[in-house]
Structure formats: structure tokens, C-alpha cells
Amino acid sequence: MNYFRTALLLAGLTALFMGVGFVIGGQQGMIIAFVIALGMNAFSYWNADKLVLRMHNAREVDERSAPEYYQIVRELAARAQLPMPRVYILDEDQPNAFATGRNPDNAAVAATRGLLRSMTREEVAGVMAHELAHVQNRDTLTMTITATIAGAISMLANFAFFFGGNRNNPLGFVGVLVTVIVAPLAAMLVQMAISRTREYAADRRGAEICGDPMWLASALAKLERGRAVPNEEAEAVPATAHMFIINPLSGARMDNLFSTHPNTQNRIAALQDLAAEMTGVQPATFAPAFPTRQPRGPWGNRGAAPRSNRPRGPWG
């Protein structure tokens, strides 16, 4: 159902794009715009991962520079039967992560410094399993195409605003005006709807990859609280916000048409239901302080020790 819904939304976005081209330049304008979009998609297909990683100043790591983080990704990739992706760290204090790449053979996963500092090993595994689920489902390519078409629609709408459109369209000048105002908004809504659909699917598949839905549920609770920490790189390039596991931008907390991500509590509830489905036992109501057990992760045991005495891990 999620794939079908995504396909419908992509088809609607493509139809919207072609409609904007027709309103602006008639049949010829529609063809020209379509050719431009194909070129943009081709460029994005081959270069989007490099561009996104460069935008966020991502630093590639290996088994020597980040052994525990790298090992977690390697083990999860093996469980998911995926090629080993390139592994990156973002020098941001906000806990977050994303995946990119046109296919599993050219994939990359990235986690922020804040995520590696604040999460247990299980929680890191839950987050990275979610990102590998995006890779396995080829969501990274879908979101690249979606962002490219949405960007092209906005570009065409701006062109119509400054230079006027084809007033011989069935709606005349009103059609041009409506296109300028409505088309970018509609493209944004479709883009966000696709992103929300894929997040739920990646949550479920990620929980299956790591083996315990509550690892990801616990991580999502921490990620939501961590949104209070500004993400300067994401704020500078908000077009990439939909790629992160949780919205890195300020605001947009509601699960509505204007949110790039589902409401975090809704995602946690879905993972709790999945845990009950997998084990036959309904987990206890999720509490903000979850997990109550002492974490045992590669970045230090932060259990009962006072904050000042807790190890901070290899990233400070």
C-alpha cells in the first residue's frame, strides 16, 4: 500500500509539473520543461549523494577512526543483505541521521556527533537500521526525484510570475495566476506526503533489520527531545530536511500537511504495535524517560553515574 501510495503521489507530481509547463508555454513549453526536468533528474541521479554530503560537511569514517559505529553499520548491512555503505559523521550536536545514494551499491549513511554521544548501542542500531531500510527500499532515489520535480515546478512558477505565461490556456490569465500561487504549494504538499509515507515504512523495516522495534522507539524519543538543539547546516539548506530520520528544523512538530515527517509519538505508537505483533506481548506505555534500564553502548555506560562522571565516548 505504501508503494502504491508513493507511486500515485509521484504520478500526481509529474502531472502537476506538466500542467505548469502547459499553462506557462502551451504544448511547446510543456515539452521544454519536461526535457529540462529530465536533465535535472539525470544530474541528481548521479550526483545527489555527493552534493548532500558536501552541503552538510559530512566526514567519512572507517573501521579505524570510528570502530564501534562502523561495526554497527556493517552488522546491520549484513543482516539486511545489503552492500556495506559508506559511513559518515556530521559535526552537529543535534542528534539526527540520514541516508543518501542512488542505489544500495552507491549508498551512504550519516549520523551526527550528537547522536553518537547521546545514544546507547541499541538506539544507534535502531537509527542506522532505519536508514538502511531507506536504502533497501530505494527511498533515497525516490526522494531525490521528488525534490527535483518539486524544485522544477517552483522554478517554472517563478518564471511565470516574472515573465508571464501562456494566456491562451483554457483559464487565461487566471490560470497563470493560479499556477503561480498554487503549483509550488501543491508540489510541496506532495513532496511532504511522500516523505511521511516512506518514514513509516522505513521505521517498520528498520525494526525488522535490528530485531527490536523498541530500540528505534527509544531512539525516536531522544531524537525528538534533541530537536531543541539547533542544526545550523540543516537550517542553511532546508530542502534536505526530509532526508533526516526526524525533522532537523525548528517548528513543524504537528502531523499535518505541512510537516515533512510524521508525528514522533505516532511513530513510537506504531513501533509499539509492531513489538506486540512480533513478541505477542504489548510493551508498557512509552514514557519520556525510556529506557529505564542502564544503557550499554559503545559510547559509555551512562546508567547511574552522575552526569559529570559519565564517559562521553570517543567524540568528546
pLDDT at site 43:
79
pLDDT-derived band of residue 305, with 50, 70 and 90 as boundaries? Answer: very low
Most confidently modeled of 98-107, 118-127, 136-145, 194-203? 118-127
Mean pLDDT within 85-92: 96
Three-state secondary structure call for residue 203: helix
**Per-residue model confidence as pLDDT tens digits over 51-77:** 889 989 999 999 999 999 999 999 999
Domains of the chain: which residue ranges? Answer: 2-281
pLDDT-derived band of residue 112, with 50, 70 and 90 as boundaries? Answer: very high
Residue 202 in grid coordinates: 522505513
pLDDT at site 312:
38
pLDDT at site 253:
43
Mean pLDDT within 86-92: 96
CA–CA gap between residue 107 and residue 275 (Å, rounded):
28
Residue 108 near residue 87 (C-beta atoms within 8 A): yes
131 classed as catalytic: yes
CA distances from 165 to 21, 40, 142, 188 (A): 9, 22, 30, 21
Q: Which residues contact 280 (CB under 8 A, 6 or more apart)?
A: none
Helices (H) and strands (E) in the chain, counts: 9, 4
What is 107-157 written as a DSSP string? -EEEEEHHHHHH--HHHHHHHHHHHHHHHHTTHHHHHHHHHHHHHHHHHHH
Mean pLDDT within 174-201: 70
Output 53 or 258, whichever has higher pLDDT. Answer: 53
Output 177 or 252, whichever has higher pLDDT. Answer: 177
Sheet holding 59-61, edge to edge: 59-61, 86-90, 108-112, 97-100
Q: Which of 45-49, 148-152, 213-217, 234-238 has the least mean pLDDT?
A: 148-152
Set 92, 122, 123, 131: catalytic member: 131
CA–CA gap between residue 43 and residue 187 (Å, rounded):
20
Count of alpha carbons within 13 Å of 39, Cβ hemisphere only? Answer: 6
Three-state secondary structure call for residue 92: coil
Mean pLDDT within 87-114: 95
The 10 Å Cβ neighbour count of residue 251 is 9
pLDDT at 298 over 50: no
**Per-residue model confidence as pLDDT tens digits over 217-230:** 999 999 999 999 98
CA–CA gap between residue 111 and residue 200 (Å, rounded):
19
Q: Which residues are annotated as a binding site for Zn(2+)?
A: 130, 134, 199
pTM confidence score = 0.74
pLDDT at 156 over 80: no
pLDDT at 85 over 70: yes
pLDDT at site 191:
63
Q: 209, exposed or middle or buried, with CB in 10 Å at 0-12, 13-18, 19+? A: buried
CA distances from 148 to 105, 142, 182 (A): 22, 10, 18
Q: Which of 100-104, 156-160, 175-179, 309-313 has the least mean pLDDT?
A: 309-313
Residue 134 in grid coordinates: 531507506
Output 34 or 101, whichever has higher pLDDT. Answer: 101
pLDDT at 254 over 60: no
